């Protein structure tokens, strides 16, 4: 076998390994279904959980980052986890294991469904008319819808685990499972419903 043939074979093996790579080495991300066509373009799911800031300097490139990594980044927004990427990824990995134990489903699919359910369709902006602020209902852009859903999920997990016996992973798993089931009592869905209720009143 020549050197060129050996290099071609190695490249083919690398391509095959990349094609069958799983998130955290466990979860298959190749057959994720999307129920919301408006956010499908902005919900990227890849087996890569840490891109080392590859897209940080490119405007609007965050939609190319894996949804799982974006969730981990959101978990780092709080003071206790600020800057601790490995700890945030550990929380997400443990939460996924808990989700799988509770639902027997692919936790990545549960995350996608939860984001679709928690993404608000309407919100309000303030317009000024002669010094008077008037709320006005507006449609939410698809990319912002995904951002808001991830924020609600991360904030809900933080609120449930802060000064409580519930671990961060358990709280996040609870948020994901209940949001995927559209439980209006869970923080993420209640925040979405509240935003849409206020927007409906401002039409």
pLDDT value, residue 16 = 42
Structural domain that includes position 41: 3-201
Which of 18-27, 106-115, 130-139, 184-193 has the least mean pLDDT? 18-27
Report residue 140 as tokens: 């939410």
pLDDT value, residue 81 = 74
Model confidence pLDDT, tens digit, residues 38-66: 899 999 888 888 888 787 777 878 888 88
Report the candidate in 109, 131, 90, 126 with the shortest Cα–Cα distance to residue 176.
109
Instruction: Please check the confidence at residue 77 and state whether its pLDDT lies above 80.
Output: no
Residues 39, 145: contact at Cβ < 8 Å?
A: yes
Model confidence pLDDT, tens digit, residues 142-175: 999 999 999 999 999 988 888 888 899 999 999 9
Pairwise CA distance, residues 127 & 148, whole Å = 21
pLDDT value, residue 24 = 85
Mean pLDDT of 26-48: 88
CA angle 123/168/155 to nearest 5° reads 15
Report residue 64 as tokens: 């190319």
Pairwise CA distance, residues 160 & 172, whole Å = 9
| CATH number for the domain harbouring residue 82 | 1.10.455.10
State pTM to two decimals.
0.83
Query: Domain count of the chain?
Result: 1
pLDDT value, residue 169 = 92
């Amino acid at each position: 076998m020549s050197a060129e043939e050996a290099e071609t074979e190695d490249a083919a093996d690398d391509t095959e390994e990349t094609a069958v790579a799983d998130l955290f080495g466990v979860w298959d991300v190749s057959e994720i279904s999307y129920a919301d066509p408006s956010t499908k373009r902005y919900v990227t799911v890849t087996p890569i959980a840490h891109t080392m800031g590859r897209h940080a300097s490119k405007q609007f490139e965050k939609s190319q980052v894996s949804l799982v990594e974006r969730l981990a980044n959101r978990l780092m927004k709080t003071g206790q986890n600020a800057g601790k990427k490995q700890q945030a990824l550990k929380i997400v990995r443990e939460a996924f294991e808990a989700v799988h134990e509770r639902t027997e489903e692919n936790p990545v699919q549960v995350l996608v469904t939860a984001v679709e359910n928690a993404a608000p369709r309407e919100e309000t902006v303030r317009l000024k008319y002669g010094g008077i602020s008037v709320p006005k209902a507006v449609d939410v852009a698809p990319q912002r819808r995904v951002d808001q859903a991830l924020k609600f999920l991360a904030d809900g997990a933080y609120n449930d685990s802060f000064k409580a016996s519930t671990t961060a992973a358990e709280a996040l798993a609870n948020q994901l499972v209940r949001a995927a089931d559209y439980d209006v009592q869970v923080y993420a869905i209640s925040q979405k419903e509240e935003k849409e209720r206020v927007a409906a009143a401002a039409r």
